[in-house]
Amino acid sequence: FSFYFSRTVEPLEYYRRFLKENCRPDGRELGEFRTTTVNIGKCLCSITTADGSALVKLGNTTVICGVKAELAAPAVDSANKGYIVPNVELPSLCAERFRSGPPGEEAQAASQFIADVIENSQMIVKEDLCIANGKLAWVLYCDIICLDYDGNLLDASVFALLAALKNVHLPLVTINEETGLSEVNLKQKNPLIIRKHPVATSFAIFDDTLLIVDPTAEEEDLATGTVTIVTDEEGRLCSVHKPGGSPLTGAKLQDCITRAITRHKEVKKLIDKVIKSITPK
Residue-wise pLDDT tens digits, 137-156: 999 999 999 999 999 999 99
Q: How many angstroms separate the CA atoms of 214 and 243, rounded?
A: 16
pLDDT above 70: residue 47? no
Note the pTM of the prediction, 2 decimals: 0.92
Q: Tell me: the pLDDT tens digits for 57-107?
A: 999 999 999 999 999 999 999 999 999 999 999 999 999 999 888 889 999
Q: Measure CA 243 to chain center.
A: 17
Cα–Cα distance list, 162 to 55, 153, 155, 193 (Å): 11, 14, 11, 12
Which pLDDT score, from 0 to 100, does residue 2 have?
47
Q: How many angstroms separate the CA atoms of 29 and 18, rounded?
A: 10
149 and 217 in contact (C-beta within 8 Å)? yes
Domains (ranges, CATH) in the chain?
A: 29-278 (3.30.230.70)
189 and 209 in contact (C-beta within 8 Å)? no
Q: How many angstroms separate the CA atoms of 83 and 71, rounded?
A: 10
Q: Which string of DSSP letters, residue by residue, matches 46-58?
A: S-TT-SEEEEEEE
Q: How many angstroms separate the CA atoms of 130 and 207, rounded?
A: 49
71 and 182 in contact (C-beta within 8 Å)? yes
